[in-house]
Amino acid sequence: MQLFKSAGLWNFMLAALLLSACTLKQKNENWSLPPIPTADQVGALLLPDDIAPVKAPFPIVDFKKPEFPDNNIVLSLSKEDINTHTIQDAIDKLSKQGGGSVTVPKGNWKTGRIILKDNINLHFSDGAVLRFSSEIEEYLPAVFTRIEGVEVMSLGACIYANNATNIAVTGNGRLIGPSEGPVRDKIMTKHLIGDVIDFSSPVSERIVDGKRTPWIFAPMFISPINCKKVYIEGVSLENTAFWNIVPIYCDNVIIRGISVQSVGIPRGDGIDVESSRNVLIEYSTLSCGDDCFTMKSGRGSDGLRVNKATENVVVRYCLAKEGHGAITCGSETAGMIRNLYVHDCVFQDTGMGIRFKTRRPRGGGGDNLIYERIRMNLKGHMVKWDMLGSRTYVGKLADRLPVLEINELTPKYENISISDILVEKADYLIKAIGIPEMPIKNVKIQNIKAKTNNLMLLHDMEDVSFRNMELDTNDSLLYILDSRNMSFQNVHFSSSTQKADVQIDGENSHSISFKSSFNLDN
Protein backbone atom coordinates (compact mmCIF):
# COMPACT_ATOMS: atom_id res chain seq x y z
CA MET A 1 0.00 0.00 0.00
CA GLN A 2 1.38 3.40 -0.93
CA LEU A 3 1.74 6.23 1.57
CA PHE A 4 -0.63 9.13 0.95
CA LYS A 5 -1.64 12.43 2.50
CA SER A 6 -5.21 13.67 2.52
CA ALA A 7 -5.01 17.45 2.25
CA GLY A 8 -8.47 18.04 0.78
CA LEU A 9 -11.46 16.56 -0.96
CA TRP A 10 -9.62 15.70 -4.20
CA ASN A 11 -6.84 13.77 -2.46
CA PHE A 12 -9.35 12.13 -0.23
CA MET A 13 -11.37 10.91 -3.24
CA LEU A 14 -8.20 9.53 -4.77
CA ALA A 15 -7.76 7.52 -1.60
CA ALA A 16 -11.27 6.08 -1.73
CA LEU A 17 -10.03 2.66 -2.72
CA LEU A 18 -7.98 2.60 0.43
CA LEU A 19 -10.63 4.08 2.72
CA SER A 20 -13.35 1.63 1.88
CA ALA A 21 -16.26 3.01 3.86
CA CYS A 22 -16.02 6.79 3.37
CA THR A 23 -19.38 8.59 3.43
CA LEU A 24 -20.77 11.94 2.40
CA LYS A 25 -21.20 14.82 4.81
CA GLN A 26 -23.49 14.11 7.74
CA LYS A 27 -24.75 16.32 10.52
CA ASN A 28 -22.56 16.44 13.60
CA GLU A 29 -23.85 14.38 16.46
CA ASN A 30 -24.84 16.26 19.58
CA TRP A 31 -22.99 15.10 22.65
CA SER A 32 -21.47 16.49 25.81
CA LEU A 33 -19.21 15.29 28.59
CA PRO A 34 -20.72 14.35 31.94
CA PRO A 35 -19.23 15.99 35.05
CA ILE A 36 -15.53 15.10 35.27
CA PRO A 37 -13.91 15.36 38.72
CA THR A 38 -11.22 17.91 39.51
CA ALA A 39 -8.12 17.29 41.60
CA ASP A 40 -9.75 18.71 44.73
CA GLN A 41 -12.62 16.23 44.44
CA VAL A 42 -10.58 13.01 44.56
CA GLY A 43 -7.68 11.50 46.46
CA ALA A 44 -6.74 10.59 50.00
CA LEU A 45 -7.84 13.86 51.62
CA LEU A 46 -11.44 13.17 50.58
CA LEU A 47 -11.66 9.66 52.06
CA PRO A 48 -15.17 9.05 53.45
CA ASP A 49 -15.75 6.85 56.48
CA ASP A 50 -17.86 4.32 54.63
CA ILE A 51 -17.32 2.31 51.46
CA ALA A 52 -20.01 3.22 48.95
CA PRO A 53 -21.53 0.35 46.95
CA VAL A 54 -19.37 -0.61 44.01
CA LYS A 55 -20.95 -0.66 40.57
CA ALA A 56 -18.93 -2.35 37.87
CA PRO A 57 -19.63 -3.69 34.36
CA PHE A 58 -18.74 -7.19 35.56
CA PRO A 59 -19.61 -9.29 38.64
CA ILE A 60 -17.67 -8.31 41.75
CA VAL A 61 -17.86 -8.98 45.49
CA ASP A 62 -19.65 -6.72 47.98
CA PHE A 63 -16.74 -4.83 49.52
CA LYS A 64 -17.03 -4.22 53.25
CA LYS A 65 -14.72 -3.03 55.99
CA PRO A 66 -13.19 -5.90 57.99
CA GLU A 67 -14.16 -6.66 61.53
CA PHE A 68 -11.71 -7.56 64.30
CA PRO A 69 -12.16 -8.68 67.92
CA ASP A 70 -12.07 -5.89 70.51
CA ASN A 71 -8.70 -7.09 71.81
CA ASN A 72 -6.09 -4.35 71.49
CA ILE A 73 -2.40 -4.26 72.30
CA VAL A 74 -0.87 -0.79 72.46
CA LEU A 75 2.82 -1.33 71.88
CA SER A 76 5.48 -0.07 74.26
CA LEU A 77 8.38 0.75 71.95
CA SER A 78 11.94 1.99 72.25
CA LYS A 79 13.05 5.09 70.40
CA GLU A 80 16.68 3.94 70.38
CA ASP A 81 16.38 0.26 69.48
CA ILE A 82 14.97 -1.75 66.59
CA ASN A 83 11.48 -2.82 67.70
CA THR A 84 10.95 -5.76 65.33
CA HIS A 85 10.64 -8.43 68.02
CA THR A 86 8.29 -6.36 70.18
CA ILE A 87 5.93 -5.71 67.29
CA GLN A 88 6.09 -9.27 65.94
CA ASP A 89 5.59 -10.90 69.34
CA ALA A 90 2.42 -8.85 69.87
CA ILE A 91 1.07 -9.82 66.43
CA ASP A 92 1.81 -13.51 66.96
CA LYS A 93 0.32 -13.56 70.45
CA LEU A 94 -2.88 -11.73 69.49
CA SER A 95 -3.43 -13.79 66.35
CA LYS A 96 -3.24 -17.02 68.38
CA GLN A 97 -5.86 -15.56 70.75
CA GLY A 98 -8.28 -14.95 67.87
CA GLY A 99 -7.07 -11.58 66.66
CA GLY A 100 -7.54 -7.89 67.29
CA SER A 101 -5.56 -4.67 66.85
CA VAL A 102 -1.88 -4.06 67.45
CA THR A 103 -1.44 -0.31 67.81
CA VAL A 104 1.73 1.64 67.06
CA PRO A 105 1.60 4.72 69.32
CA LYS A 106 2.55 8.30 68.53
CA GLY A 107 6.30 8.67 68.18
CA ASN A 108 9.21 7.93 65.90
CA TRP A 109 10.09 4.22 65.89
CA LYS A 110 12.42 1.79 64.08
CA THR A 111 11.72 -1.74 62.94
CA GLY A 112 12.64 -4.52 60.55
CA ARG A 113 10.24 -6.74 58.60
CA ILE A 114 6.80 -7.20 60.14
CA ILE A 115 4.72 -10.28 59.27
CA LEU A 116 0.94 -9.98 59.59
CA LYS A 117 -1.07 -12.98 60.79
CA ASP A 118 -4.76 -13.98 60.71
CA ASN A 119 -7.28 -11.47 62.09
CA ILE A 120 -4.71 -8.76 62.85
CA ASN A 121 -5.18 -5.04 62.28
CA LEU A 122 -1.83 -3.24 62.47
CA HIS A 123 -3.05 0.22 63.43
CA PHE A 124 -1.09 3.46 63.52
CA SER A 125 -2.08 6.20 65.93
CA ASP A 126 -2.04 9.82 64.77
CA GLY A 127 1.55 10.99 64.85
CA ALA A 128 3.04 7.49 64.61
CA VAL A 129 6.12 7.23 62.37
CA LEU A 130 7.62 3.82 61.62
CA ARG A 131 11.03 3.73 59.94
CA PHE A 132 12.21 0.48 58.38
CA SER A 133 15.77 -0.74 58.76
CA SER A 134 18.39 -0.51 56.05
CA GLU A 135 20.09 -3.70 57.32
CA ILE A 136 19.52 -6.82 55.22
CA GLU A 137 19.52 -9.04 58.33
CA GLU A 138 16.28 -7.40 59.45
CA TYR A 139 14.48 -8.98 56.46
CA LEU A 140 15.76 -12.53 56.84
CA PRO A 141 15.18 -15.40 56.54
CA ALA A 142 14.14 -15.25 52.90
CA VAL A 143 10.41 -15.72 52.30
CA PHE A 144 8.28 -16.78 49.37
CA THR A 145 7.30 -13.86 47.15
CA ARG A 146 7.18 -12.66 43.57
CA ILE A 147 9.56 -10.08 42.13
CA GLU A 148 8.74 -8.46 38.79
CA GLY A 149 6.43 -11.35 37.96
CA VAL A 150 8.84 -14.17 38.94
CA GLU A 151 8.49 -16.38 42.03
CA VAL A 152 11.53 -16.34 44.31
CA MET A 153 12.64 -16.70 47.92
CA SER A 154 13.69 -13.18 48.86
CA LEU A 155 13.45 -10.41 51.45
CA GLY A 156 9.72 -10.10 50.82
CA ALA A 157 8.35 -6.79 52.08
CA CYS A 158 8.68 -4.41 55.00
CA ILE A 159 5.14 -5.45 55.94
CA TYR A 160 4.59 -8.99 54.68
CA ALA A 161 2.02 -11.76 55.01
CA ASN A 162 1.61 -15.23 53.51
CA ASN A 163 -1.58 -17.31 53.62
CA ALA A 164 -3.25 -14.97 56.10
CA THR A 165 -6.95 -14.12 56.28
CA ASN A 166 -8.59 -10.91 57.46
CA ILE A 167 -5.59 -8.63 57.85
CA ALA A 168 -5.32 -4.85 57.83
CA VAL A 169 -2.93 -1.91 57.97
CA THR A 170 -4.82 1.21 59.09
CA GLY A 171 -4.47 4.64 60.65
CA ASN A 172 -2.80 7.92 59.77
CA GLY A 173 0.77 6.83 60.41
CA ARG A 174 3.79 7.57 58.25
CA LEU A 175 5.75 4.57 57.04
CA ILE A 176 9.26 5.39 55.87
CA GLY A 177 11.31 2.90 53.86
CA PRO A 178 14.95 1.92 54.35
CA SER A 179 17.46 4.77 54.39
CA GLU A 180 20.89 4.58 52.75
CA GLY A 181 22.71 1.39 53.72
CA PRO A 182 23.08 -2.28 52.72
CA VAL A 183 19.46 -2.73 51.57
CA ARG A 184 19.84 0.00 48.97
CA ASP A 185 23.54 -0.52 48.26
CA LYS A 186 23.09 -4.16 47.21
CA ILE A 187 19.99 -3.86 45.00
CA MET A 188 20.48 -5.74 41.74
CA THR A 189 20.41 -3.17 38.92
CA LYS A 190 22.79 -4.43 36.23
CA HIS A 191 20.74 -7.40 35.01
CA LEU A 192 17.16 -8.32 34.17
CA ILE A 193 15.52 -10.80 36.49
CA GLY A 194 15.39 -13.37 33.69
CA ASP A 195 19.17 -13.21 33.47
CA VAL A 196 19.73 -14.13 37.10
CA ILE A 197 16.83 -16.50 37.87
CA ASP A 198 16.52 -19.87 36.13
CA PHE A 199 12.79 -20.21 35.41
CA SER A 200 13.17 -24.01 35.15
CA SER A 201 14.53 -24.35 38.69
CA PRO A 202 12.30 -25.09 41.71
CA VAL A 203 11.16 -21.92 43.45
CA SER A 204 12.60 -23.21 46.73
CA GLU A 205 16.06 -23.01 45.16
CA ARG A 206 15.67 -19.46 43.87
CA ILE A 207 17.09 -17.95 47.05
CA VAL A 208 18.20 -14.33 46.92
CA ASP A 209 19.14 -13.19 50.42
CA GLY A 210 22.37 -11.24 50.08
CA LYS A 211 24.38 -14.25 51.28
CA ARG A 212 24.17 -16.72 48.42
CA THR A 213 24.35 -13.76 46.05
CA PRO A 214 26.32 -10.50 46.41
CA TRP A 215 23.14 -8.60 45.55
CA ILE A 216 19.49 -8.58 46.63
CA PHE A 217 16.03 -7.89 45.32
CA ALA A 218 14.87 -4.87 47.29
CA PRO A 219 11.98 -5.46 49.70
CA MET A 220 8.62 -4.11 48.68
CA PHE A 221 6.82 -1.90 51.19
CA ILE A 222 3.51 -3.69 51.91
CA SER A 223 3.01 -7.01 50.15
CA PRO A 224 0.64 -9.77 51.26
CA ILE A 225 0.80 -12.98 49.23
CA ASN A 226 -1.83 -15.76 49.08
CA CYS A 227 -4.08 -13.78 51.44
CA LYS A 228 -7.84 -13.27 51.68
CA LYS A 229 -9.64 -10.19 52.96
CA VAL A 230 -6.86 -7.62 52.91
CA TYR A 231 -7.58 -4.05 54.03
CA ILE A 232 -5.17 -1.09 53.78
CA GLU A 233 -6.42 2.37 54.75
CA GLY A 234 -5.10 5.79 55.62
CA VAL A 235 -1.34 5.27 55.89
CA SER A 236 1.24 7.25 53.95
CA LEU A 237 4.30 5.57 52.45
CA GLU A 238 7.60 7.35 51.79
CA ASN A 239 11.06 6.43 50.53
CA THR A 240 10.34 2.88 49.44
CA ALA A 241 13.20 0.75 48.16
CA PHE A 242 10.96 -0.82 45.50
CA TRP A 243 7.23 -1.09 44.69
CA ASN A 244 4.97 0.26 47.44
CA ILE A 245 1.74 -1.74 47.86
CA VAL A 246 1.73 -5.12 46.11
CA PRO A 247 -1.02 -7.69 46.79
CA ILE A 248 0.07 -10.97 45.17
CA TYR A 249 -2.31 -13.95 44.65
CA CYS A 250 -4.83 -12.26 46.97
CA ASP A 251 -8.64 -12.26 46.94
CA ASN A 252 -10.90 -9.49 48.27
CA VAL A 253 -8.51 -6.57 48.67
CA ILE A 254 -9.47 -3.01 49.65
CA ILE A 255 -6.94 -0.18 49.41
CA ARG A 256 -8.33 3.26 50.30
CA GLY A 257 -7.16 6.63 51.48
CA ILE A 258 -3.46 5.88 51.16
CA SER A 259 -0.73 8.29 50.03
CA VAL A 260 2.53 7.40 48.34
CA GLN A 261 5.59 9.59 47.82
CA SER A 262 8.33 7.87 45.81
CA VAL A 263 9.24 10.49 43.21
CA GLY A 264 12.88 10.11 42.20
CA ILE A 265 13.07 6.45 43.26
CA PRO A 266 13.74 4.06 40.34
CA ARG A 267 11.01 1.39 40.13
CA GLY A 268 9.09 3.25 42.81
CA ASP A 269 5.66 2.05 41.66
CA GLY A 270 2.66 3.09 43.73
CA ILE A 271 0.16 0.21 43.81
CA ASP A 272 0.85 -2.98 41.83
CA VAL A 273 -1.96 -5.52 41.78
CA GLU A 274 -0.27 -8.86 41.02
CA SER A 275 -2.43 -11.80 39.95
CA SER A 276 -5.10 -10.84 42.49
CA ARG A 277 -8.86 -10.68 42.18
CA ASN A 278 -11.77 -8.68 43.56
CA VAL A 279 -9.81 -5.53 44.32
CA LEU A 280 -11.11 -2.05 45.19
CA ILE A 281 -8.76 0.95 45.13
CA GLU A 282 -10.33 4.28 46.03
CA TYR A 283 -9.55 7.78 47.31
CA SER A 284 -5.79 7.32 47.09
CA THR A 285 -3.10 9.83 46.08
CA LEU A 286 0.08 8.60 44.43
CA SER A 287 3.23 10.53 43.52
CA CYS A 288 5.63 7.95 42.14
CA GLY A 289 9.05 7.34 40.67
CA ASP A 290 7.53 4.89 38.21
CA ASP A 291 3.96 3.83 37.36
CA CYS A 292 1.16 4.79 39.76
CA PHE A 293 -1.81 2.39 39.65
CA THR A 294 -0.57 -0.78 37.94
CA MET A 295 -2.03 -4.17 37.02
CA LYS A 296 0.33 -7.14 36.56
CA SER A 297 0.00 -10.93 36.27
CA GLY A 298 3.38 -12.62 35.93
CA ARG A 299 6.33 -12.62 33.58
CA GLY A 300 6.81 -14.93 30.61
CA SER A 301 7.09 -18.66 31.13
CA ASP A 302 7.14 -18.38 34.94
CA GLY A 303 3.93 -16.37 34.84
CA LEU A 304 2.34 -18.91 32.49
CA ARG A 305 3.31 -21.70 34.87
CA VAL A 306 1.45 -19.98 37.71
CA ASN A 307 -1.35 -18.81 35.37
CA LYS A 308 -3.23 -16.53 37.76
CA ALA A 309 -5.04 -13.50 36.40
CA THR A 310 -5.50 -10.07 37.84
CA GLU A 311 -9.25 -9.68 37.52
CA ASN A 312 -12.28 -7.83 38.83
CA VAL A 313 -10.51 -4.61 39.83
CA VAL A 314 -12.15 -1.21 40.40
CA VAL A 315 -10.13 2.01 40.71
CA ARG A 316 -12.20 5.07 41.57
CA TYR A 317 -11.89 8.61 42.99
CA CYS A 318 -8.09 8.46 42.89
CA LEU A 319 -5.44 11.09 42.17
CA ALA A 320 -2.19 10.34 40.34
CA LYS A 321 0.01 13.38 40.87
CA GLU A 322 3.25 12.25 39.28
CA GLY A 323 4.59 9.06 37.73
CA HIS A 324 5.45 7.37 34.45
CA GLY A 325 1.92 6.07 33.86
CA ALA A 326 -1.18 7.01 35.84
CA ILE A 327 -3.05 3.74 35.24
CA THR A 328 -0.98 0.98 33.66
CA CYS A 329 -1.48 -2.60 32.57
CA GLY A 330 1.77 -4.57 32.37
CA SER A 331 4.38 -5.04 31.36
CA GLU A 332 4.13 -8.42 33.14
CA THR A 333 0.88 -9.84 31.71
CA ALA A 334 1.28 -13.63 31.47
CA GLY A 335 -1.74 -14.63 33.58
CA MET A 336 -3.99 -12.01 31.89
CA ILE A 337 -5.44 -8.78 33.19
CA ARG A 338 -9.21 -8.81 32.79
CA ASN A 339 -12.23 -6.95 34.11
CA LEU A 340 -10.64 -3.65 35.08
CA TYR A 341 -12.89 -0.62 35.67
CA VAL A 342 -11.28 2.79 36.24
CA HIS A 343 -13.61 5.75 36.73
CA ASP A 344 -13.88 9.26 38.17
CA CYS A 345 -10.14 9.84 38.61
CA VAL A 346 -7.69 12.68 37.99
CA PHE A 347 -4.24 12.23 36.44
CA GLN A 348 -2.22 15.35 37.19
CA ASP A 349 1.27 15.83 35.75
CA THR A 350 1.96 12.15 35.09
CA GLY A 351 3.75 10.86 32.01
CA MET A 352 1.08 8.71 30.35
CA GLY A 353 -2.59 8.73 31.24
CA ILE A 354 -3.81 5.27 30.25
CA ARG A 355 -0.88 2.98 29.55
CA PHE A 356 -0.73 -0.55 28.16
CA LYS A 357 2.62 -2.37 28.21
CA THR A 358 3.74 -5.87 27.37
CA ARG A 359 6.41 -7.57 25.28
CA ARG A 360 6.46 -10.46 22.80
CA PRO A 361 7.93 -12.92 25.35
CA ARG A 362 5.64 -11.84 28.22
CA GLY A 363 2.48 -13.77 27.26
CA GLY A 364 -1.12 -13.19 28.36
CA GLY A 365 -2.31 -9.61 27.94
CA GLY A 366 -5.45 -7.65 28.78
CA ASP A 367 -9.17 -8.15 28.14
CA ASN A 368 -12.29 -6.16 29.09
CA LEU A 369 -10.64 -2.98 30.32
CA ILE A 370 -12.96 0.02 30.88
CA TYR A 371 -12.03 3.64 31.60
CA GLU A 372 -14.60 6.40 32.20
CA ARG A 373 -14.82 10.01 33.44
CA ILE A 374 -11.16 10.89 33.83
CA ARG A 375 -9.43 14.30 33.82
CA MET A 376 -5.84 14.38 32.57
CA ASN A 377 -3.05 16.94 32.54
CA LEU A 378 -0.06 15.05 31.19
CA LYS A 379 3.56 15.23 30.14
CA GLY A 380 3.03 12.32 27.75
CA HIS A 381 0.09 10.73 25.95
CA MET A 382 -3.59 10.31 26.78
CA VAL A 383 -3.42 6.65 25.74
CA LYS A 384 -0.34 4.64 24.89
CA TRP A 385 0.09 1.02 23.86
CA ASP A 386 3.67 -0.24 23.86
CA MET A 387 3.71 -3.93 22.97
CA LEU A 388 7.21 -4.18 21.51
CA GLY A 389 9.47 -2.56 24.09
CA SER A 390 13.14 -2.03 23.34
CA ARG A 391 16.12 -4.21 22.47
CA THR A 392 17.54 -3.46 25.91
CA TYR A 393 14.92 -5.78 27.41
CA VAL A 394 13.95 -8.28 24.69
CA GLY A 395 16.60 -8.04 22.00
CA LYS A 396 15.43 -8.50 18.40
CA LEU A 397 11.91 -9.31 19.60
CA ALA A 398 11.48 -5.55 19.96
CA ASP A 399 11.77 -5.19 16.18
CA ARG A 400 8.33 -4.89 14.63
CA LEU A 401 9.30 -6.97 11.59
CA PRO A 402 9.53 -9.71 10.60
CA VAL A 403 6.08 -10.88 11.62
CA LEU A 404 6.53 -13.80 13.97
CA GLU A 405 4.58 -16.98 14.44
CA ILE A 406 2.04 -16.79 17.27
CA ASN A 407 2.94 -18.88 20.33
CA GLU A 408 2.01 -19.13 24.03
CA LEU A 409 4.19 -16.11 24.81
CA THR A 410 2.49 -13.83 22.29
CA PRO A 411 0.51 -11.28 24.32
CA LYS A 412 -2.69 -9.53 23.29
CA TYR A 413 -4.82 -6.55 24.28
CA GLU A 414 -8.48 -6.60 23.31
CA ASN A 415 -11.96 -5.40 24.29
CA ILE A 416 -11.05 -1.96 25.62
CA SER A 417 -13.44 0.95 26.18
CA ILE A 418 -12.31 4.53 26.91
CA SER A 419 -14.97 7.21 27.22
CA ASP A 420 -15.81 10.58 28.76
CA ILE A 421 -12.25 11.86 29.01
CA LEU A 422 -11.14 15.49 29.42
CA VAL A 423 -7.50 16.13 28.51
CA GLU A 424 -6.24 19.56 29.50
CA LYS A 425 -2.73 18.92 28.17
CA ALA A 426 -0.89 16.01 26.54
CA ASP A 427 1.73 15.25 23.91
CA TYR A 428 -0.05 12.65 21.77
CA LEU A 429 -3.75 11.95 21.99
CA ILE A 430 -3.12 8.27 21.19
CA LYS A 431 0.08 6.42 20.40
CA ALA A 432 -0.48 2.74 19.72
CA ILE A 433 2.42 0.40 18.97
CA GLY A 434 0.92 -3.04 18.52
CA ILE A 435 2.34 -6.39 17.44
CA PRO A 436 1.77 -7.20 13.75
CA GLU A 437 1.00 -10.88 14.39
CA MET A 438 -1.44 -10.01 17.22
CA PRO A 439 -3.05 -6.60 16.57
CA ILE A 440 -4.70 -4.57 19.32
CA LYS A 441 -8.37 -5.55 18.89
CA ASN A 442 -11.86 -4.26 19.59
CA VAL A 443 -11.16 -0.80 21.00
CA LYS A 444 -13.84 1.88 21.47
CA ILE A 445 -12.77 5.44 22.27
CA GLN A 446 -15.52 8.03 22.50
CA ASN A 447 -16.62 11.29 24.07
CA ILE A 448 -13.21 12.94 24.28
CA LYS A 449 -12.30 16.62 24.65
CA ALA A 450 -8.55 17.12 24.43
CA LYS A 451 -5.77 19.62 23.91
CA THR A 452 -2.60 17.93 22.66
CA ASN A 453 0.57 18.60 20.72
CA ASN A 454 0.06 15.67 18.37
CA LEU A 455 -2.87 13.67 17.04
CA MET A 456 -2.63 9.90 16.61
CA LEU A 457 -0.13 7.25 15.60
CA LEU A 458 -1.84 3.88 15.18
CA HIS A 459 0.16 0.72 14.40
CA ASP A 460 -1.30 -2.77 14.08
CA MET A 461 -4.87 -2.32 15.27
CA GLU A 462 -8.10 -4.04 14.30
CA ASP A 463 -11.79 -3.28 14.92
CA VAL A 464 -11.31 0.19 16.40
CA SER A 465 -13.83 3.02 16.61
CA PHE A 466 -13.33 6.69 17.48
CA ARG A 467 -16.51 8.66 18.09
CA ASN A 468 -17.46 12.08 19.41
CA MET A 469 -14.12 13.82 19.82
CA GLU A 470 -13.33 17.55 20.01
CA LEU A 471 -9.61 18.06 19.55
CA ASP A 472 -7.25 21.01 19.81
CA THR A 473 -3.89 19.90 18.41
CA ASN A 474 -0.74 21.63 17.24
CA ASP A 475 -0.05 18.91 14.68
CA SER A 476 -2.81 17.25 12.66
CA LEU A 477 -1.01 14.11 11.46
CA LEU A 478 -3.09 10.93 11.68
CA TYR A 479 -0.74 8.07 10.85
CA ILE A 480 -2.12 4.55 10.41
CA LEU A 481 0.03 1.47 9.76
CA ASP A 482 -1.29 -2.02 9.00
CA SER A 483 -4.62 -1.42 10.69
CA ARG A 484 -8.11 -2.39 9.54
CA ASN A 485 -11.79 -2.09 10.33
CA MET A 486 -11.27 1.36 11.82
CA SER A 487 -13.92 4.09 11.94
CA PHE A 488 -13.89 7.79 12.81
CA GLN A 489 -17.31 9.29 13.48
CA ASN A 490 -17.99 12.86 14.57
CA VAL A 491 -14.32 13.58 15.26
CA HIS A 492 -13.35 17.24 14.86
CA PHE A 493 -10.68 19.80 15.45
CA SER A 494 -11.52 22.93 17.42
CA SER A 495 -10.89 24.90 14.22
CA SER A 496 -13.86 24.34 11.96
CA THR A 497 -11.67 24.59 8.84
CA GLN A 498 -8.80 22.33 9.88
CA LYS A 499 -8.30 19.03 8.09
CA ALA A 500 -6.42 15.98 9.26
CA ASP A 501 -3.20 15.10 7.49
CA VAL A 502 -4.01 11.43 7.00
CA GLN A 503 -1.24 8.98 6.13
CA ILE A 504 -1.96 5.28 5.72
CA ASP A 505 0.69 2.68 5.14
CA GLY A 506 0.99 -1.10 5.14
CA GLU A 507 -0.54 -3.77 2.94
CA ASN A 508 -2.86 -4.87 5.76
CA SER A 509 -4.53 -1.47 6.11
CA HIS A 510 -8.10 -1.49 4.83
CA SER A 511 -11.72 -0.72 5.73
CA ILE A 512 -10.99 2.68 7.29
CA SER A 513 -13.96 5.04 7.29
CA PHE A 514 -14.53 8.71 8.14
CA LYS A 515 -18.06 9.93 8.90
CA SER A 516 -18.44 13.61 9.65
CA SER A 517 -14.82 13.72 10.82
CA PHE A 518 -11.81 15.99 10.27
CA ASN A 519 -13.67 17.80 7.45
CA LEU A 520 -12.62 14.94 5.17
CA ASP A 521 -16.11 14.42 3.81
CA ASN A 522 -17.01 18.11 3.46
Q: What is the pLDDT of residues 419-437, one digit of tens each?
A: 999 999 999 999 999 999 9
Residue 12 pLDDT: 34
Range of the domain at 472: 5-515
Average pLDDT value for residue range 25-33: 70
CATH code for position 144: 2.160.20.10
Confidence of residue 15 (pLDDT cuts 50, 70, 90): very low
Please write the tens of the pLDDT for every residue from 56-66. Answer: 999 999 999 99
Residue 521 lies in a domain: no
Q: Is the pLDDT of residue 179 over 80?
A: yes
Phi/psi for 215 (5° steps) reads -135, 170
Q: What is the pLDDT of residues 335-347, one digit of tens each?
A: 999 999 999 999 9
The DSSP secondary-structure symbol of 234 reads S
Does 137 reside within a domain?
yes
Task: Tell me: pLDDT of 99 over 60.
Answer: yes
In a domain, 54, yes or no: yes
Q: Using CA of residue 414, residue 362, residue 352, residue 349, what is the dihedral sign?
A: positive
CA distance 472 to 202: 55
Closest CA to 358 of 434, 301, 430: 434
Whether the CB-CB separation of 170 and 231 falls below 8 Å is answered with yes
Compute the mean pLDDT over every residue in the chain, rounded to the nearest whole number: 93
* The total number of structural domains that make up the chain: 1
**How far apart, in whole angstroms, are the C-alpha atoms of residue 193 and residue 215?**
12
Is it true that the peptide bond before 141 is cis, omega within 30 degrees of 0?
yes
CA distance 18 to 60: 44
Pairing relationship of beta strands 5-6 and 501-505 according to DSSP bridges: antiparallel
Distance CA 117, CA 113 (A): 13
Residue at 520 is within a domain:
no
Q: Considering the domain boundaries, does residue 36 fall inside one?
A: yes
pLDDT in tens, 61-81: 999 999 999 999 999 999 999
The better pLDDT of the pair 3, 112 is held by 112
The answer to whether the beta carbons of residues 244 and 270 sit under 8 Å apart is yes
Task: Give the pLDDT confidence score for residue 169 in this predicted structure.
Answer: 98
User: What pLDDT is recorded for position 28?
Assistant: 57
Q: Give the residue-averaged pLDDT of 405-413.
A: 97
Residue 371 lies in a domain: yes
CA–CA distance, 287 with 368 (Å, rounded to integer): 27
Confidence (pLDDT) at 498: 82
Would you say residue 313 lies in a domain? yes
Q: Model's pTM, two decimal places?
A: 0.94
Say yes or no to pLDDT of 522 above 80: no
Residue 413: which of 497, 495, 355 has the closest Cα? 355
Alpha helices in 307-422 (DSSP H): 391-394
Asked if the structure places residue 522 within a domain, the reply is no
Name the band, by pLDDT with cuts 50, 70 and 90, for residue 11.
Answer: very low
Q: Read off the pLDDT band of 516 (50, 70, 90).
A: very high
pLDDT one-digit tens code per residue, 118-131: 999 999 999 999 99
Cα(43)–Cα(317) distance, rounded to whole angstroms? 6
